[in-house]
Amino acid sequence: MVKNKNNKAIWGSRIRKDASSLFQKVGNSIDIDKKLFKEDILGSIAHIEMLFRQKIISFKIKNKIIYGLNKIEKEILKNKFEYNNKYEDIHMNIEKRLFQIIGEDAGHVHTARSRNDQVITDFKIWTTSATKKINKNLDNIIKTILTISEKNIETIMPGFTHLKNAQAISFAHYLMAYVEMFVRDKKRFSYNLESLSECPLGVAALTGTSFNIDRNFTSKKLGFKRPTNNSIDTVADRDFVLDFLYSVSVCSMHISRIAEELIIWNSDGFNLITLSDKVVTGSSIMPQKKNPDLLEYLRGKTGTTYGNLFSMLTILKGLPISYFKDLQDDKEILFKSNEILNNCIAILNEVLKNLRPNKQQMLNLTNYGYITATDLADYLVKNHSIPFRKAYQTTAMIVNFAEKKKKKLNELSIEELKKIEPKLTTEVLRIFNVKNSVNSKKSYGGTAFDNIKRMIIKYKKYK
């Protein structure tokens, strides 16, 4: 092993005294950003290959540095790499180890590069991979929902507004609403890939460099579409972090909404679904309890993702452009939100797989709240040319009459109905069948069974 003569921090030749122990404690980020070791080594190798192509370093130096970097990667993967808090972050830890392996030639690795462009390049590569992984995980949950929906097209339940029975729907149609949400989440994450597609490497600290570098080469080598345009903006930019955190927050909100509904439906008051013992917990004092703790976890974690987004917005709010130490927290915030979302997607997927709809209870609940009233008003408009507002008033009178008689709409006789609206015939009685009600909504996007089948087929093909 070649001994490194300078074992101080890189800036030790300018800063003559060691940092205080307190500053070292708050200033280092190695425990967080060591996640970026692969990206850092990948970026450094691309940079070195470019320097050689541009005749800035020799073939021999290029090979020595790449050899050293590959050796470091193997050490990290085998848990043989020793991280040192003294060197602040993964970037300096890797560079110091490179000095130990190949000696002073390691100093060429930072030619025409700053930690500012190095860090954001690594971070963008990592975030790109994380974004693609989230989309794959969303595919899994979409697939699960489609499988459940396919089995429940004709499972009838109340649709709610204000948590009051509103109109009859298919359980599958309800679930497919969340497919729409998760598909939008996928699109939102995919849009972010465009802002991640510009390569920061080569802008150095904030001004670019006087070396004859080839930023197009490093961009292509690292999988970016193009280099960034403005060097100052490049090191200051954390919009891609905000985009990611916002997308996580919206997706978390969708997960929280379905979790909230499933918690309500699992309650004894509704009893619309049953959760398997695999996804519930017990009580320390009440032996009978089966609590939907996992769903409550999903609902609670959404607050954390919102907080992370707001934290990053606040960090950036009053920050002049270029690089400042304030930005150190960007990675921890993003890493945490990424971990939370992936966990939540996996948990929701598991809960859905262990959920059983109580079909008879769903159907029974449609008997309350006069949920076919709108169908009756529509029937009067279509079959008797009555203006909708007049049909609405007539239907309201029929509902009031049924309520007074303590009857459901389908329990009213034709004679009772004709007392309020003489035009009605026995044909109207089929309107009060909730299955007919659901299947009658044939407009695009409505609850008709054929519509649901078409959407399931559509999204099964969706990539």
Q: Which residues are catalytic?
A: 162, 283
Report helix, strand or coil for 77. Answer: helix
Nearest to 224 by CA among 212, 233, 215: 215
As given in the structure block, the two tokens for residue 344 are: 């939540």
How many C-beta neighbours within 10 Å does residue 432 have?
Answer: 19
Check: CB of residue 118 under 8 Å from CB of residue 36.
no
- Buried/exposed code over 420-430 (b: 16+ C-beta within 10 A; e: otherwise): ebeebeeebee
Any residues with CB less than 8 A from the CB of 307 and at least 6 apart, and which?
none
Q: Which of 336, 317, 339 is nearest to 327 (CA)?
A: 317
What's the CA gap between 448 and 433, in Å, rounded? Answer: 14
**How far is the C-alpha of 126 from the C-alpha of 222, rounded, in Å?**
11
Which whole-number Å values give the CA distances from 165 to 214, 323, 365, 434, in the listed order?
65, 55, 8, 12
